[in-house]
Amino acid sequence: MAARLIESLATTEPLAEVFSDSSVLQAMLDFEVALARAEAGAGVVPKSAADRIAAAAHAREFDIPALARSMIRSGTPGIPVVKALTEKVRAAAPEAAGWVHWGATSQDVADTALVLLLKRSQTILVGDLKRLEEALFTLSEQHKATVMLGRTLMQAAPPVTFGLKVAGWLGAVNRSSKRVESAFDEALVFQFGGASGTLASLADKGTMVARALAEELGLPCPDAPWHTHRDRLANLVCCCGVLTASLGKMARDISLLMQSEVAEVAEPGGEGRGGSSTMPHKRNPIACALTLAAAERVPGLVASFLSAMVQEHERAVGGWQSEWPTVASVVQSTGSAAASMAEVAEGLSVDPARMRQNIANTRGLIFAERAMMLLAAELGRDAAHKLLEDAIQKSIAQNTDLSTLLAELPQVSSRLNRSVLEQLEIPEQYLGSAEAFREALLNSITSKKEEQ
């Protein structure tokens, strides 16, 4: 795995590779190659020089630790890379060395390299999100009739279906995913402005080279350089924050449902997954833990990026230099959460019998609202509410089912017939619009896919 040990719980193997030293360096070199080829096509740089630059621009041939040390001293990743590339070109073809990095500035290299890395990341992230959405869709359909406790303020509440709960997760993930995809599409524009963002060094060929560079890189050409305008990247970072929080909500629900005393669902297990170093009996919510860790980490990173957006004039001091580790961490954390929850959704164990038993364990108290609404038509809401409050206290004290106790009260039995009371605690009869809401969520996602 390309990630360092300290980052291993905050990324995935594919994303760690995208942001590895070799990959980051190659992205910078790819910019230099594309620039030389674009300028050669515009008649600015000799084609032979562009070929020499391309031949030298292979990350494996560079001393990455030495470049990292030089970057600290230069305050930018671009300068040491350009210098090292120039020396390699000079060693093979001295006449071509002077054309390296022609007309560009160091921030052009850094920003475009970041965009190229984000483009690769998008493919990975979208793939995991698609897996997650498909698994949640299937899970919701499988459990559309599986009843379970509703839980409000961490307490038992009237029943819901597991299918509706899953559809709720899916709806939030789907909405957040679409925002992230749109933000990626907006942010994936290259940077090329030269010293002050005017490409003055290229005279009247600046826009021609820019358009050719866009084609070489396979990226859209922005209307103008954006050296100190970081709104596109900020939008992406913020959308990743919302998505990660949505994934965190799902992870929180599942980890709570996995508690031993609840035991309604369980993450997929397997060799080395979910165990404890000291307690052999445990099956820990590991994927949920990774997702929740990401959801707790990302908001601070989002704030860090936003605080660095106020950048002065045409090129900033410290603002954009702070972004590389922030953006890389946000994207990798989001990817870690998406991949983790995709794995959970694809292999989640659901125990419908346990869900029903947990409903039964409330001894009918979660149906107090239903009983109150039935009696309110006869007694008025306030009187019915007071009657149920008293009945609940007696039910708890006597350890008696609510329906049984209510049947013994004359003011209830005289107004509600026995068959109504006998069916009071059937969860399927008190689901309201649960299935309509579930279907609406799934249909909304399906219709949007059909429109695409």
At residue 243, the pLDDT reads 98
At residue 280, the pLDDT reads 42
**Which residue among the candidates 8, 48, 276, 413 is catalytic per the annotation?**
276
Residues of the chain with pLDDT under 70: 1, 3, 270-282, 448-452
At residue 366, the pLDDT reads 95
- Is 23 an active-site residue? no
Domains of the chain: 12-104+202-217 (1.10.275.10), 108-191+226-359 (1.20.200.10), 365-424 (1.10.40.30)
**Which residue among the candidates 232, 315, 363, 370 is catalytic per the annotation?**
315
For tokens 């445990």, what's the residue?
282
Rounded Cα distance between 24 and 365, Å, is: 59
For tokens 């219709």, what's the residue?
447
Q: Pairing relation of β-strands 349-350 and 265-266? A: antiparallel
At residue 139, the pLDDT reads 98
At residue 279, the pLDDT reads 42
At residue 377, the pLDDT reads 87
At residue 307, the pLDDT reads 97
At residue 418, the pLDDT reads 87
- Is 315 an active-site residue? yes
Find the helix packing angle between 381-398 and 368-379, rounded to 10°: 140
Rounded Cα distance between 8 and 13, Å, is: 9
Whose CA is closest to 302, among 328, 321, 322, 330? 330
User: Any residues with CB less than 8 A from the CB of 305 and at least 6 apart, and which?
Assistant: 230, 233, 234, 237, 323, 326, 327, 330
At residue 113, the pLDDT reads 98
